[in-house]
Amino acid sequence: MTPKLINPEAINDPRAEAMLPAVGGFPSSDRLLFLAGYGELCRFDLSGKLALEICGGSGMLASGLAGVFPDAQVIGLDLYAASGPEVDESLQRHPGLSYVAGDAFDLSSFEADSFDLIWGQAALHHLSHNLDGLCEQVSRVLKPGGRLVFIFEPMGHNLLVAAIRAMRMAHYELGDESNLYISQFERMTRSFNGCEIQMFNFLGYPMKAASDRFQFLSTTVQHMDSWLFRKFPKLLRYGANCNVIFTK
């Protein structure tokens, strides 16, 4: 199955907007990407349904989704269960929210066909060393028709972007920041019925240093990227970042 590459139109969803503070600060050049990703989390009504965030860290995004859908059951999973005053406040505010310690490669504590939505943010590239194991776990616990969503992932087809990332990784001594490739998504689709990849940041990534300092420039670059993607669809694979949505 060939994944479908798109550059989504601007999302005008107040629920997605309400979740933006959960990012904890983001460059203005990535605003459209996060809105599109959160729009996917909110695409279907999760009231009375079960959702799981993997590699959720501090749990703020799980809390944000629980706030949007107060009648949903939202579980935040990370190697260490989220804790602290903000987490305690979120748990009091959202009765359907919970946090557990666990490994995304071992979801055996959850029943088969139990989740309507599973998602991760900036998570998949940290799990790419065992995509087959991840897909096996997720496809077991995801309901038929359920979705697996990854938000804000790095793509490696653009050589300029890959070079800039390599320099940043060396300068800041970042580990485990591997790029992703469409061929990996194609392999993952063996466990799913559909895959859509939302691509962003063609010119936006190399121009971040300037555009994130000036809002008007950031907006202009995002509009230019959208125009280029529409005019020349083959450029989509060379976007620097993506959201990816799998459907079981």
pLDDT computed for residue 70 by the predictor: 97
Do the domain assignments include residue 170?
no
212 inside domain: no
The answer as to whether 173 is a domain residue is: no
SS3 185: helix
Is 55 contained in some domain? yes
Residue 223 lies in a domain: no
* Residue 175 forms part of a structural domain: no
Whether residue 211 lies inside any domain: the answer is no
Domain hosting residue 37, numbered range: 4-151+181-198+240-247
Band of pLDDT at residue 145, cut at 50, 70 and 90: very high
Residue 46 lies in a domain: yes
Count of structural domains, the chain: 1
Using pLDDT thresholds of 50, 70 and 90, give the confidence band for residue 171: confident
Torsion of CA 223, 227, 230, 234, to 10 degrees: -100
CATH number assigned to the domain comprising residue 114: 3.40.50.150
**pTM attached to this predicted model:** 0.96
pLDDT above 90: percentage of residues in the chain: 83
pLDDT of residue 11: 87
Residue 224 confidence (pLDDT) = 96
Name the least confident of 70-84, 169-183, 210-224.
169-183
Gap between the Cα atoms of 61 and 37, Å rounded: 12
Q: Six-digit token pair at 179? A: 């790029």
Label residues 126-150 b or e (16+ Cβ within 10 Å = b): ebbeebeebbebbbbbbbeebbbbb
